[in-house]
Amino acid sequence: MTEEQQDVGIVTAVKGNAVSVEIQRGGGCKSCALRGMCFSKSTPSVFHLQSDLPLAVGDKVELYVAEGGRIIASMLIFGLPVFFLFLGFILASLWFSELISILFAFAFMALSFLILKLCDRLLGGKIKVEIARKI
């Protein structure tokens, strides 16, 4: 498991080789202060995958998510807003007072969230997720 990370999900729909799998939050999610950032609180995280395994609705499966995808996603989610916050402050402080620079910093950080949403739409489907086996 050096190149991939294992997660557990429940099959929610099967149509031929097309399978929908809902990710179950791990035990670490309960104690994590940032649990709301990885998964929306009101909607589950569902992957639509292809699989030749004989699966039925309700089956538990192991999913493998490429580690590179996790690292890139983590860097974007946690690093980009902080980078934009500092960038906005530094750029605005060249021309404006400190209070206005702080407002610009938060505006830049808000812009980073829009960029993250765009990245999710463009790159979200390219992260390698596969069904490894039925549990």
* Per-residue pLDDT of the chain in tens (135 residues, 90 and over written 9): 444 446 788 888 888 888 888 876 655 555 554 445 455 555 667 778 888 888 888 888 888 777 777 777 778 888 999 999 999 999 999 999 999 999 999 999 999 988 888 877 776 666 677 777 778
Q: What is the pLDDT of residue 39?
A: 54
Q: Kindly state the helix (H) or strand (E) to which residue 111 belongs, with its residue range.
A: helix 98-123
Instruction: Give the model's pLDDT for residue 26.
Output: 55
pTM of the entire predicted model: 0.58
pLDDT at position 11 is 85
Q: Which of 75, 64, 74 lies closest to 4 in space, CA to CA?
A: 64
At 30, which amino acid appears?
Answer: K
The burial of 84, by beta-carbon neighbours within 10 Å (0-12 exposed, 13-18 middle, 19 or more buried), is given as: buried
Q: What is the pLDDT of residue 2?
A: 45
Which 8-state DSSP code applies to residue 135? -
